[in-house]
Structure 1
C-alpha cells in the first residue's frame, strides 16, 4: 500500500508558525534584556573613570636649578667596625637660596671589602618653599642600609639598598604645629665608575641612578617619591680622599600627585675613608 508524503493541516501549520514566532520573540527580548544589563554594568564601571578623568588635574612640572655639596666619611675604629658620617648642603638657584641642611651618622659593620652594613640617625633642616616664610621644617630620620661593591672587568659597581623611617614636621602658615608626617622610604642606588684613561690618577666617568619609593598612612598620591640620575667624573685626590663632580637630575613627585619638581643640580661630593684602628703587630 502506498502512502504519500504526510502534510499538516493548514490550521496546525499556522499554530506551529505562531509558536516559533513567539519563541523567537522571547529569545530576542531575552537577548535585549541581557544587552541592557551589560550596558548598565559597563556604564556603572565607566562612570567613575569618566568622572575621575574630569576631576584629575593636568600634570605640572616645575623646573629648578640647584647646587648640592657634601662630605661623606667612613672612619674605621677596628678591623670590621667603623663610623659613617656625612654632611650635606643643597641650595636653589646656585647658592642664592637655601634648600636644606642635612647631617647623618651611623654605625657600620664591614666584614670585607665587598659588603658593609650601616644603621643610624639623620636630621634635616628643610627651608620653606614659600618666599615670605622663614620657619625651617625639621625631619628626624632612622635608617638601615646594605652596600655592595663589585667589579666587572675594569668597571667598579656600587649597589646600595637603604630603608628610612622619616618623621617630617608639618608647618602651617609659617608656624610649627608640633605634628609630624610619618613615612617609610626605600631607596635603591646603582653607580658605575668607568675608567676612560690608562692613568689611574686621571678622572673616571661615573653614571648612577637612585630610585626612591615611600609608604605610609599619609602617602596617598606619591608612592613614587623621586628618581636621581647622575653623570659626572670621579677622581682620587689621595688614597683616602676622592670626589665626584657633575650633573644630577632629581625628578620628584609632590604629595598632591599631579605636581613634579625637575631639579637640575650641579653636584660636588667628597668621599673620605680613614682608620683609627690600632695596627696589627
Structure 2
C-alpha cells in the first residue's frame, strides 16, 4: 500500500509541475509610434533640471499606449558624468479593447550616466533605478490596489560619426535591458529589452533629434506571454542654459 502511494505521488507530482510551468509561449506582435521631447536646462556650473514628455501609440498611431511625463534635478560633477533624481507619472491605456480607463503609475527614480568618446564613436552608459507604483484596474474601474516593483535599467548607446561634414547625421546603435523585482514579480524578473538603430542629427546648437527603429520585447507577469513591439521612434532633445555661459553639452538619452 505504501509503495503504491509513493508510486502515485512520483507519477502525479511531475505532471503537476509540468502543468504549472510548461505554458506555450505567446508573442503578441504590434506596430507602435513613440514621440517625445527631452529637455535639459543648466542653471549653475554643476546643476540642471530635466523634463521629458512622451506619447506612445499602438497600431502605428491608431490607439493610445501611454502618456508619460518626467522631471528631476541633475548634478554634473564634470562634462562626462551626470547624476539625476526625480519623479515621473504615466497614464497607461487599457490592454482590453472594451475598456476605456487609463491606469496611473507613479515613479521615483535615481540615475547615473557616463559619456565617453573614442575616435569617431561616442559611448553613453546609463544606470537607472525606479520605484514604481502601478494602479490595478478591475472591470474597467480603479480597484484601489497598487502593484509595487523596483526596476533596474542598464543602457549602452553608441553614436558613430560617419562624415566630417556637420550637416550629415550620425548613426546610433543602442540596447537597454530592464529587470524588475517585487512581491508580484514571480515569473518575469526579466521585464523587457529595448534595441534601437537609427540616426541622430543636430538641428541647431540647442535642438537635436534621433529617429529610427526600436524593438521592444516585453515579458508579461504571466511569464509565458510577450509583446514584440516594432516601434517607430522620434525623440527630440533640447539643451539650454539660464546662465550667461554657453548652453549645456549634456547628452540627454531620455526614454520612458
- 1:278 shift after superposition: 4.1
Q: 1:246 aligns with which of 212, 237, 241?
A: 212
Q: 2:155 & 2:135 partners in 1: Cα distance?
A: 26
Gaps of 5+ in 2: 247-256
What does residue 9 of structure 1 align with?
Answer: none
CA deviations over 1:210-239 (Å, ceiling 9, x no partner): 000000111111100000000000011111
CA deviations over 1:75-130 (Å, ceiling 9, x no partner): 00111100011000000011100000000000100111100000000000001111
1:214 paired with 2:193, answer no
By relative contact order (CA 8 Å, sep 6+), the higher-ranking structure is 2
Q: 2:16 aligns with which of 51, 74, 78?
A: 51
What does residue 196 of structure 1 align with?
Answer: 162
Higher helix share goes to which structure?
Answer: 1
Gaps of 5+ in 1: 1-35
Q: Is the 8 A contact 1:209 1:229 kept in 2?
A: yes
What is the total number of aligned residue pairs between the two structures? Answer: 240
What does residue 263 of structure 1 align with?
Answer: 229
Q: 1:253 & 1:121 partners in 2: Cα distance?
A: 25
1:170 paired with 2:108, answer no
Q: CA RMSD in A?
A: 1.8
- 1:245 shift after superposition: 0.3
Higher strand share goes to which structure?
Answer: 2
TM-score (norm 1): 0.82
CA deviations over 1:164-183 (Å, ceiling 9, x no partner): 00000000010111110000
Q: Alignment partner of 2:61: what SS? A: coil
CA deviations over 1:12-45 (Å, ceiling 9, x no partner): xxxxxxxxxxxxxxxxxxxxxxxx9xxx89x95x
1:123 paired with 2:89, answer yes
What does residue 53 of structure 2 align with?
Answer: 87
Moved over 6 A (4+): none
Q: Which has the larger radius of gyration?
A: 1
Q: 2:12 & 2:234 partners in 1: Cα distance?
A: 51
TM-score (norm 2): 0.90
Q: Alignment partner of 1:250: what SS? A: strand
What does residue 196 of structure 2 align with?
Answer: 230
